[in-house]
Structure 1
Amino acid sequence: MAISSNNVQVYTTLSKELVAEIDKDAKENFRTRSQQINMILTEYYKTRMTTNHESE
């Protein structure tokens, strides 16, 4: 993903085991590691927002 005014680049440290799982899933879905992490976080927050709205 290109860095634009709407994006912020974030650095984090993850365990080797977690990165291996992310890489495996990324490969299966023809994504890069960065794309896979982006998808995981995006889906997490979409689900969380949906769940929060349903409980109101």
Structure 2
Amino acid sequence: MTTPPETYLPDVTYFGLVDELLNVAGSFDPRSRVIELLGEIANVWPESCHSDRD
């Protein structure tokens, strides 16, 4: 696995994401909730979702 590039988020987005991630334990499906939060708040997606993927 290669080292991913550093990603800097605006402070309000970063701390909002941290706050949301701290609350996933009570979710019905914590894993899916984390995936959703990473994508919707931080715009972080797995490479397999990239539209230009071969």
Q: TM-score, normalised by structure 1?
A: 0.40
Structure with higher helix content:
1
Q: TM-score, normalised by structure 2?
A: 0.41
CA radius of gyration, larger in: 1
Q: Which has the higher contact order (CA 8 A, sep 6+)?
A: 2
